[in-house]
Amino acid sequence: MIGLIGRNTASAIYHFCVVTSSAGRNAYFVLAAWIAVDVSHGTSALAVLLALGGAAELLTSNIGGTLIDRFDRRMVCIVCDLFRLVLMLTTGLGFLFADPLIVLYLSWTIFAIVDRTYSTSLQALIPSIARAVNLGSFNSSAYIGMQAGNLLAAIITGFMLSNAGRELAPLLPSGFFVLSLLGLLAMSSIRPRSAAHHRPKSGDIRRSDLLPTTFALGSLKTGAAMYGLIYAMGMFVNMLASAYVIRELDATSLQFGCLEAAWAVGSIAGCAIFLLGSGFWRPQNILVHLALAGMFLLGFWFYQSFPFAIIQMTILGLSYNIARVLIDVQVQSTVSIDALGRARSQIHTVCVATGLLGYGIIGVFGNAILPSEIFGLFGTVMIAAALFFCFRMNRGGSAESRLI
């Protein structure tokens, strides 16, 4: 009974940390994106901001994963929260004395490194809190909490930007990070009674542990490759949705908001599916969502209609978040708890590399090609990749064994 109470308490605190941390992260993203566009009077500064953050994550993701596997993960999260809190306060001070754009570039780059380490460490805590049979539902509820935090932050940040100067804006994410920190401190007082409890390990850190390598664990190769493409799909949709609304639908900002809401509704529905007790987490199911997302992305190219776009965004949001839960459950179910940090970092390395390639393509061709054409071309790539993986699987044996 005591163990059950401790597990339930840790679960509640964990979800509190997910909500508050996600709210702080999204609040900082919203204010950074707004200030970057407002100061530069264009979107180029925002593209540079995102590219800097992506490059920083790509180069340091494995370092964070190695630290997560070698130290107590609660302490890693606590240290990261302290770093994020100090960074927000110094960013606000920087706005008073330096070029806001330079301050943002530096602040966002550092934030991307610390926040990625925090997120990976928080995910790696799940097997120490949830039972193995509940991994799907636990991950899905965590993602629902993440979406709730994002929605909360978007509403409050918009209000704060309208009523306070940029110097005070970083106080909002600071407040959320303080709440997350308090939750982690409360969680650290609860001793996990799970057999899956992570034990920090000692030993020398090899160079291969720090470089942005991928796929030391061959069994995750296929799932990670498919998820990397789905991750890039989400990046394309989020970056080009506004341009699609303006250039091709000739619609208003209100309709753009409806498309974003449709994505959010699909995202929450995708996470909620796992709360019904669904146990499908095999790589073949990620393959289904790879093909599904490709087909609906291709639909933007063939037919431009606002009602159809609402349907497409809802299904893409649903498929994207189901894939996120599937890959997390696959990792947590197949990887030793002492290697979760590195395994998840390797997968994120693939996703970020794919995203950076997408940023480059959009930066070079974004003004010359319609958003629907970019959607359609990438959807074709996703479908072709799905057919390739399906062909490999149907030849007998596991796809992973052929792709190592």
Q: Which residue has the higher pLDDT, 238 or 149?
A: 149
The confidence score (pLDDT) of residue 281 equals 47
The confidence score (pLDDT) of residue 84 equals 93
The confidence score (pLDDT) of residue 394 equals 63
Radius of gyration for the chain, computed over Cα atoms and rounded to the nearest angstrom: 21
> Looking at the predicted structure, is the pLDDT value of residue 337 above 80?
no
Q: Of the ranges 203-217, 286-300, 325-339, which is most confident?
A: 286-300
Q: Of the ranges 54-68, 97-111, 125-139, 202-216, which is most confident?
A: 97-111
Distance CA 209, CA 342 (A): 8
Residue 179: pLDDT band (50, 70, 90) is very high
pLDDT in tens, 17-26: 889 998 898 8
The confidence score (pLDDT) of residue 133 equals 66
Could you tell me if 6 and 193 are in contact, meaning their C-beta atoms sit under 8 angstroms apart? Answer: yes
pLDDT in tens, 384-397: 988 988 887 666 54
Distance CA 56, CA 47 (A): 14
For the segment 220-240, the average pLDDT, to the nearest whole number, is: 79
Distance CA 177, CA 170 (A): 11
Could you tell me if 271 and 360 are in contact, meaning their C-beta atoms sit under 8 angstroms apart? Answer: no
What is the rounded average pLDDT for all residues in the chain?
A: 76
Spatial CB neighbours of 260, under 8 Å, sequence gap ≥ 6: 241, 313
The confidence score (pLDDT) of residue 399 equals 41
Cβ neighbours of 96 (radius 10 Å) = 11
Spatial CB neighbours of 182, under 8 Å, sequence gap ≥ 6: none
Residue 99: pLDDT band (50, 70, 90) is confident
The confidence score (pLDDT) of residue 2 equals 38
Residue 254: pLDDT band (50, 70, 90) is low
Residue % of the chain over a pLDDT of 90: 10
Q: What domains appear along the chain, each with residue ranges and CATH number?
A: 1-193 (1.20.1250.20), 213-404 (1.20.1250.20)
User: Contacts from 248-254 at CB under 8 Å and sequence distance 24+?
Assistant: 248/304, 248/370, 248/371, 248/372, 249/304, 249/305, 249/306, 249/309, 251/306
The confidence score (pLDDT) of residue 111 equals 93
- Vertex 333, ends 205 and 217: CA angle to 5°? 40
For the segment 11-15, the average pLDDT, to the nearest whole number, is: 86
For the segment 211-223, the average pLDDT, to the nearest whole number, is: 58
For the segment 216-235, the average pLDDT, to the nearest whole number, is: 75
For the segment 335-358, the average pLDDT, to the nearest whole number, is: 72
> Looking at the predicted structure, is the pLDDT value of residue 171 above 80?
yes
Lowest mean pLDDT among 15-24, 208-217, 269-278: 208-217
Which two structure tokens, joined as six digits, stand for 122? 């928080």
Lowest mean pLDDT among 15-19, 40-44, 239-243, 276-280: 276-280
Residue % of the chain over a pLDDT of 70: 74
Spatial CB neighbours of 158, under 8 Å, sequence gap ≥ 6: 30
